[in-house]
Amino acid sequence: MRKKALFWAAVLLLLLIPFTTVFAAWGGEPDGNQHPMVGALFADFDGDGAISGFELVCSGSYAGPSADGAYDVFLTAAHCVAWAPSAGITQFFVSFDNEVLDSDGPTNLIGSVDFDWDPDFAHDSGDLHDLGVVLLPAGSVTGIAPVQLPPAGYLDDLKAAGTLKGTAIELVGYGLVPTWQQPGGTQFSFDGVRRTAAGTIKGLTQAWVYFNQNQHATGDGGLCFGDSGSPQFLAGTTMIISITSGGDPNCRANNYNYRLDTENARAFLGQYLALP
């Protein structure tokens, strides 16, 4: 129970950031091994040297070896890691298990060497620069192909061609699943299963890409607490176009996802990864 309390304390800490953070892909199905490059991010909140599934911080994805070969790079959101120094957290842990809350808890954990986030994070509400990386030991991620990053301006090109709206994407992440129309309001459950759900693009700004997230109206799935930093794939590919940044507190209508094809995103990512 203490670890559950610590997990929720961490969620509340993240909610103090001046936008609604989004921490599982609902409306879909257990992912199994469809997206093995999507992982879960943990911190040892109680300092006992053991990681519980309830110590989940966020989701993210393996983006490949760093450009200099010194690390394996786990891509997530800035707000998933930027809080850590002030909370005395100096190391994160990553698991690529497709279930992290079974009797064994997360296994095959990889401890970080370092972590970093865009220095311009949260300075501009129009572009939060919500990108972070967790640096793992070189060669520690084995048997898993990385996600592919998009070329510069990829989503702008789709928009210019008139094919952006309605483009099919795949949401993948760990975390909470909402149930609506319950006494007392929206209820959330957590089973630590990596899930995948279908979605479609509905809009684009300079920094954000928006997805339909109203299952009853569109049949699409959505994102919720535990999905922060999770990738959105162009359907049927390993290319990710964005990562989860925020949304509404009921995980029902709105979400906004940080684009990876913009000049600002590429400026940060290019410090660690070879870009297409």
Nearest to 115 by CA among 147, 76, 68, 143: 76
Q: For residue 25, give both structure tokens.
A: 């892909």
Lowest mean pLDDT across 72-76, 104-108, 261-265: 104-108
Query: For residue range 143-152, what is the model confidence (pLDDT) as tens digits?
Result: 999 999 999 9
| pLDDT of the residue at 48 | 86
Global pTM exceeds 0.75: yes
| pLDDT of the residue at 119 | 96
Q: Are 179 and 9 in contact (CB under 8 A)?
A: no
* Residue with the larger pLDDT of the pair 154 and 255: 154
Domains belonging to the chain, first-starting first, are 2-21+36-146+263-269 (2.40.10.10), 154-259 (2.40.10.10)
As a whole number of angstroms, the distance between CA 126 and CA 146 comes to 29
* Mean pLDDT for the stretch of residues 177-184: 64
As a whole number of angstroms, the distance between CA 17 and CA 191 comes to 25
| Residue entry with tokens 């909402």 | 178
Query: For residue range 241-259, what is the model confidence (pLDDT) as tens digits?
Result: 999 887 655 565 567 799 9
Residue 2: count of CB within 10 angstroms of its CB: 11
For 88, counting Cβ atoms within 10 Å of its Cβ (0-12 exposed, 13-18 middle, 19+ buried), the class is exposed
